[in-house]
C-alpha cells in the first residue's frame, strides 16, 4: 500500500487507556493515509510500505491534537476595563448596574458584523492553535436574540471551514436573560426554545445544545424545556452545572445523558454518582476558577473514585476566563485541582473528545482515527503540564496535513 505520509524518529504519547503511562511508544513511527492514522507503533515494527512523503521529527514527542471542549470564543468587544475596575474595588453588581457585565458583551456582539466577529475570534484562536489545539468547541450565548445567536453560530461554522481547526458548535441561548426581557423572562425562554433553536438547527448551525443552570441564570425546569426540544431535534446536550451552588445541575445532566457537565465545583457525591451512571464527562475549567478567585474545588477525588472521565478546557470568554492557552489550562488543572500531568493531558485529548461526542474520531493516536496531531519540543510528556507560558509546539497536523 502507498501511504500519504510517514512520520518517524519520534516518541508518541498515544493517550490510549491501559498499558504504559500516557500510552507512550518510544522510538515510534506513524503512517497516514487519506487524513487518518493507518498505523502507529515502534519504528522497529514498521510494516513494509511506500510513502509519498517522509518526515523525521528528530526525537520530538507527538500527542493527539489538543481539544478545547468548552469555549465562548466568538464575542464582540472585551471587558478588560471591567477587570481593571474590579481590581480597583468595584463590585460585579456595581459594574452590571452601570451597563457592564454580560449586558456589555451582548450589546457589543449584536453591534458587530459577522466579519468583525470572525476577525476577533481568529485572533484569540491563534493562542489556542499555538498551544497545540486542533479541535475547538464554540458556543453562542452573547446574541440572546434570533439574529444575534444565529450570527454567532454562522461565525463559528466559518471558523471551522477557514481557520485551520475542527469546530463543534453549541447553542447556548439559555445563557442569560437579555435586557429587553428582564420584565418577562418566560417570554425569552419561549423564544429561545421554540424559535431560535429550531431556526439555528434548520440552518445546520448546531451540533449540541448547552445551558447555564444556576439560580442567577436558569432553573432546572427552564433548562428541561430546552433539553426536551433538543431531544426532539435529535441534538445531544451539555450543561454549565453547579458552578456557584449545588443546584442539581449534575443530576439534570445525567437525566438527559448529557455529553458533559461543566464547572461542577459544587457537585455533591450524589451528583457525581448520577454522572457516573449516565456516562457524563466532567469538564473542569481552571481558568474561570482562577479569575473568579473561587475556593470551592471541584470534587476531583469523587470523580476518580466513581470513574467519571475528566476533561479540561479553557472556558475562553470575555468575563470570567480570558484564557487562550490550552497548555496553561493543563498547568492550572494540575496546580489548582491536583490532577496529575497524565490526567490533565488525557483531559485535553481523550476525555475532551468524549465531552464532544467525538471519541471515535479524535483524542488518541491510534489506527483509524483522524490524523490530528501535535508535535512538541519536549523531552517528556509531563513538560506540557510543567511549563507555564513556554512555547513548546513544533507543528500541528490536521487530518494528516501540516497546519
Rounded-to-integer distance, Cα 324 and Cα 297, Å: 22
The residues pairing with 12 across neighbouring beta strands, listed in sequence order, are: 25, 62
274 is in an annotated binding site: no
How many angstroms separate the CA atoms of 249 and 228, rounded?
Answer: 15
How far is the C-alpha of 28 from the C-alpha of 189, rounded, in Å?
53
Grid cell of 40 as nine digits? 502507529
> Is 320 annotated as a binding-site member?
yes
CA distances from 143 to 109, 179, 192 (A): 6, 11, 11
243 is in an annotated binding site: yes
The answer to whether 72 is a known ligand-binding residue is yes
Q: Check whether 175 is labelled as a binding-site residue.
A: yes
Q: Indicate the pairing of strand 166-174 with strand 66-68.
A: unpaired
340 annotated as belonging to a binding site for a ligand: no
**240 known ligand binder:** yes
Residue for cell digits 513494509? 48
Q: Give the residues across from 375 on adjacent strands.
A: 62, 395
67: left (phi > 0), else alpha (psi -120 to 50), else beta?
Answer: beta
> What is the distance between the alpha carbons of residues 82 and 102, in angstroms, rounded to a whole number?
11
135 SS3 class: strand
148 labelled binding-site residue: no
Q: Which three cell numbers stand for residue 197?
A: 433553536
To the question of whether residue 256 is assigned a binding role by annotation, the answer is no
Answer yes or no: is 142 a known binding residue: yes
266 labeled part of a ligand binding site: no
Positions at the binding site: 70, 72, 79, 142, 175, 240, 243, 315, 317, 319-320
Positions at the binding site for N-formimidoyl-L-glutamate: 142, 317, 319
Positions at the binding site for 4-imidazolone-5-propanoate: 79, 142, 175, 243, 320
Positions at the binding site for Fe(3+): 70, 72, 240, 315
Positions at the binding site for Zn(2+): 70, 72, 240, 315
Amino acid at each position: 500500500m502507498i501511504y500519504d505520509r510517514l512520520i518517524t524518529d519520534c516518541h508518541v504519547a498515544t493517550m490510549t487507556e491501559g498499558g504504559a503511562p500516557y500510552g507512550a511508544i518510544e522510538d515510534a513511527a506513524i503512517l497516514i493515509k487519506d487524513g487518518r492514522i493507518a498505523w502507529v507503533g515502534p519504528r522497529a515494527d514498521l510494516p513494509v510500505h511506500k510513502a509519498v512523503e517522509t518526515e523525521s521529527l528528530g526525537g520530538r514527542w507527538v500527542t493527539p491534537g489538543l481539544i478545547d471542549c468548552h469555549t465562548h470564543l466568538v464575542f464582540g468587544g472585551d471587558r478588560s476595563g471591567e477587570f481593571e475596575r474590579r481590581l480597583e474595588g468595584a463590585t460585579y453588581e456595581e459594574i452590571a448596574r452601570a451597563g457592564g457585565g454580560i449586558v456589555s458583551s451582548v450589546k457589543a456582539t449584536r453591534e458587530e458584523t459577522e466579519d468583525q466577529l470572525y476577525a476577533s475570534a481568529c485572533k484569540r484562536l491563534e493562542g489556542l492553535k499555538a498551544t497545540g489545539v486542533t479541535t475547538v468547541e464554540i458556543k453562542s450565548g452573547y446574541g440572546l436574540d434570533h439574529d444575534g445567536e444565529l450570527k454567532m453560530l454562522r461565525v463559528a461554522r466559518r471558523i471551522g471551514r477557514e481557520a485551520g481547526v475542527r469546530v463543534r458548535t453549541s447553542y447556548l441561548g439559555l445563557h442569560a436573560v437579555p435586557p429587553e426581557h428582564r420584565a418577562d423572562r418566560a417570554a425569552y425562554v419561549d423564544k429561545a426554545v421554540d424559535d431560535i433553536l429550531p431556526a439555528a438547527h434548520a440552518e445546520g448551525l448546531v451540533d449540541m445544545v448547552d445551558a447555564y443552570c444556576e439560580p442567577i441564570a436558569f432553573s432546572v425546569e427552564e433548562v428541561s424545556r430546552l433539553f426536551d426540544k433538543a431531544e426532539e431535534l435529535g441534538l445531544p446536550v451539555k450543561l454549565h452545572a453547579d458552578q456557584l451552588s449545588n443546584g442539581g445541575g449534575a443530576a439534570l445532566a445525567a437525566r438527559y445523558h448529557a455529553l458533559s457537565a461543566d464547572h461542577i465545583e459544587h457537585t455533591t457525591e450524589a451528583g457525581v454518582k448520577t454522572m457516573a451512571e449516565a456516562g457524563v464527562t466532567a469538564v473542569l475549567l481552571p481558568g474561570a476558577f482562577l479569575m473568579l478567585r473561587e475556593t470551592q474545588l471541584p470534587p476531583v477525588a469523587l470523580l476518580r473514585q466513581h470513574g467519571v472521565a475528566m476533561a479540561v478546557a479553557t472556558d475562553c470568554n470575555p468575563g470570567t476566563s480570558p484564557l487562550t492557552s490550552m497548555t496553561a489550562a493543563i498547568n492550572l488543572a494540575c496546580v489548582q485541582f491536583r490532577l496529575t500531568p497524565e490526567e490533565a493531558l488525557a483531559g485535553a485529548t481523550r476525555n475532551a473528545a468524549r465531552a464532544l461526542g467525538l471519541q471515535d474520531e479524535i483524542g488518541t493516536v491510534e489506527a483509524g482515527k483522524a490524523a490530528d496531531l501535535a508535535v512538541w519540543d519536549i523531552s517528556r510528556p509531563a513538560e506540557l503540564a510543567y511549563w507555564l507560558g513556554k512555547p513548546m509546539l513544533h507543528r500541528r497536523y490536521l487530518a494528516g496535513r501540516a497546519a
